[in-house]
Structure 1
Amino acid sequence: MARRLYEDRDHAAAYLKYRVAPREIVGKIITFMEKKALKKFDLAVDVGCGSGQVTTLLGPHFSQVIGLDVSAAQLEMALTNHKPSNVTYRQCPAEKLPFASGEVDLVTATAAVHWFHHEKFLQEADRVLRPGGCLAILSYNLDMELEYGDVSDKLNDICQEYHAALLSSSDLCNNRNSFYRDMFNSWSYPDKEWKDCMRIKRTVPVSEYISMIETTSSFQKMKKQNPIEAKSLSGGIMNKLLSVIKSSSPDPEVTMVVKYYYWLACKP
């Protein structure tokens, strides 16, 4: 059955503030669709939309975009985010999409399918897509990296230490990539593409990298089980990163690298 997470309001607010919106991949989705489409794009559905980072990026390309999520807290945050007038949100599960068969031009899900009953979700996605419509499934590896001058390798040793400490609290395997690749390989549409790694880079303060990691389910689980341990872990990692950078500022900027992967498929 599907998992219900990200329903705490503070967690949802942090999710909106710190998660990286992959605008580069949205561009790839639109380019893929433009090569296949016989008409303008009417309806996009973003399933497991969270606080709407990807949903809003789709707005300029469609007549209507609808974000769906089971979490009321996430949708509350989505409504506080600036959005085009053609973007709306509904609360509903991924396994029962509220659309007629063949009604939708694009179904997308970002860093969410591993929480769904994915077989039921994919059946629903196939049902609601029109012939020529697109399915776009995105996620990213949890081992993010940092770049900063000639000390990037040292920083990433610390990042790996942070990542390894959180694995014991994770409900998922170390590398979700294989789960998504297997899903892609078994998908029946013959016209499909897999991208194994797209490095999405953002310049952020060190504290924002820490805050991004703290939005993950692994950290949230650790925080719930032992808040003192979780706080100590993040604080210790922050101090180690600042020590390597030799910064007198508490918040120097680094390049955060999020390693996305995705697959696209066009319905026959």
Structure 2
Amino acid sequence: MAHRLFEGKEHAASYWKYRISPSDHLIQNVITFVEKQKGGPFSLAVDVGCGSGQGTLMLAKHFTSVVGTDVSPAQLEMALQSAQEPNVTYRQCVAEDLPFADSSVDLITAMSAFHWFDRARFLQEVHRVLKPRGCLALLNYSLEMELDYSGCCLQSLNQVCKEFYAALHPYRSPHLGPSSIELYREAYKSIPYTDKEWHESVWVKRPMPLCNYIGLVESFSSYQALLREDPEKAARLSQDICQRFMSIMKVTSAETEVVVGVNYFYLLASKNDPDDM
């Protein structure tokens, strides 16, 4: 079964404010793969588990129509408030039952969402709705992000990062196992398509205020689990970590900009065309 999280309005607002989307470079890698498999122009892309829609919007210029789907009304409401592309729409549905006709979709993406789905059922649904040589892109990033601040000891900063993640690890969903990357590797191996690619590690660096990095980690499911169990403990953890960062950086404001290194991994696959076999 799929696991339903991130559905409250406050969490949806946090998603829009703090969650990161793939870089333009990563999205272009996806589009290049699609172009290689089937050529353009492309009519329909579907972003499944789209959340508040940051990644969905990045597909708009490449397709006639882009549809973001999510199970959460609150997430979709936030996406609609922020929609700026006329060819992007949103639909509420579960990932395992997509409201699209057989062989009708050029590209299906899931950005930091696939691990919450009923993965076997979702991949079956992907096979149903993709056109021959239509493509699937599953992207995610590891939680072990790194910080960089000019003139600061990186080892000291990232030791605090590791302690932040370690404090949240007991609240990690058992559904994810020890590491979500293994779920993606397993999916890659299970996909029966001839043309597919696995990309293990692509680092993307993003500048943001330190407080936004804290907000990003607070949007993780493990932090949200701690918040539900013990709000005071969750608040103390965030405050302590933020103060330790500022002490190491020798700054007095959490608005100070840092560079956050995010390690992405992703898989690409193209549905076999019976005419080619």
TM-score between both structures, scaled by the size of structure 1 = 0.98
1:21 aligns with 2:21: yes
Give the distance between the partners of 2:254 and 2:6, measured in 1 at CA.
Answer: 29
In the TM superposition, what whole-angstrom CA distance separates every residue of 1:20-68 from its partner, at most 9, and x where no partner exists? 1113211110111111224410000000000001110000000000000
Count of residue pairs the alignment pairs up: 268
Residue pair 2:209, 2:254 contacting (<8 A) in 1 also: no
Residue pair 1:167, 1:174 contacting (<8 A) in 2 also: no
> 2:9 maps to which residue?
9
> 1:81 maps to which residue?
82
Structure 1: tracts of 5 or more residues without a match: none
> 1:165 maps to which residue?
167
Cα deviation, residue 83, structure 1: 2.4
Specify which of 239, 259, 267 is matched with residue 263 of structure 1.
Answer: 267
| Structure 2 letter corresponding to 1:259 | N
Residue pair 1:177, 1:261 contacting (<8 A) in 2 also: yes
Structure 2: tracts of 5 or more residues without a match: 273-277
Residue pair 1:206, 1:254 contacting (<8 A) in 2 also: yes
1:204 aligns with 2:228: no
Give the distance between the partners of 2:215 and 2:59, measured in 1 at CA.
Answer: 25
Give the distance between the partners of 2:103 and 2:236, measured in 1 at CA.
Answer: 51
Secondary structure in 2 matching 1:168: helix
Cα deviation, residue 144, structure 1: 1.1
Give the distance between the partners of 2:139 and 2:10, measured in 1 at CA.
Answer: 25
Provide runs of 4+ in structure 1 moved above 3 Å.
none
Change over 3 Å in CA distance of 1:250–1:69 after alignment to 2: closer
Identity of aligned residues (%): 48
Secondary structure in 1 matching 2:16: helix
| Structure 2 letter corresponding to 1:195 | H
Cα deviation, residue 248, structure 1: 3.1
Cα deviation, residue 75, structure 1: 0.2
| Structure 1 letter corresponding to 2:202 | M
In the TM superposition, what whole-angstrom CA distance separates every residue of 1:153-179 from its partner, at most 9, and x where no partner exists? 111000000000000111033421111
Say what the alpha-carbon RMSD is for the aligned residues.
1.0
| Structure 2 letter corresponding to 1:52 | G
| Structure 2 letter corresponding to 1:164 | A
Give the distance between the partners of 2:231 and 2:156, measured in 1 at CA.
Answer: 27
Specify which of 149, 156, 159 is matched with residue 158 of structure 2.
Answer: 156
Cα deviation, residue 257, structure 1: 1.1
| Structure 2 letter corresponding to 1:57 | M
| Structure 1 letter corresponding to 2:54 | Q
